Amino acid sequence: MVDSVYRTRSLGVAAEGLPDQYADGRAARVWHYYIGDKRARTDEYRTWILSLLHDHDCRTVLDVACGTGVDSEMLVEEGFSVVSVDASDKMLKYALKTRWNRRKEPAFDKWVIEEGNWLSLDQDISRPGMGFDAVICLGNSFAHLPDFKGDQSDQRLALRNIAGMVRPGGILIIDHRNYDYILNTGCAPQGKNIYYKVRTFLSRVVPSHLQMLTSPYVSTE
């Protein structure tokens, strides 16, 4: 039913600009298995993020890495005006399904979901007035942007575009692993590591590293 309203591209076509690691749709189809119960996941940080947004008088929020919409859905439920963006149309399809299923709720009927990427964010979405009160990039999503050029120019461009969406005095929240600690110690930082199935995997996460010419090339957990 969603496809009759929201048309996504055919299977395997990556989003233009930002390399789409989820283009074939396989990750999107099983994502709920990875993250577990949505409520259990968001309950781990709901109070913290809501307090932060309320303390800064935030009403409009741009989620630049919404994926299947887990965090955006939480914020819509809490009364924020949310615009959700992701480079993967396959991931967005599940966010759109949630919006469709809850469309009779006024807040969800106003939930805006757009396909876009960080390298051309200013072209992909419209910035309201001076910008959004808050921009969020959660779930260690920024680490999914590869440094193919080897000079981090794409990372710098993405950060400029993302920060450019924040109004003066607004806040930008980026959830990012402490990779320096991981590379230096070979272990994930102590404490909760909320990513996969929070009720099952809140314990120690052990990373592995692929090195190329004695330098770290790929780190996985």
| SS3 label, residue 218 | strand
Active-site residue list: 22, 139, 144, 177, 196
- Tokens 């419209």 label which residue? 126
| Mode of pairing for the β-strands spanning 60-63 and 81-86 | parallel
> Any residues with CB less than 8 A from the CB of 113 and at least 6 apart, and which?
66, 69, 72, 83, 84, 85, 92, 95, 96, 99
| Cα(11)–Cα(25) distance, integer angstroms | 7
- Tokens 């967005």 label which residue? 92
User: Which value, to the nearest 10 degrees, does the dihedral of the CA atoms of residues 139, 142, 144, 146 take?
Assistant: -170
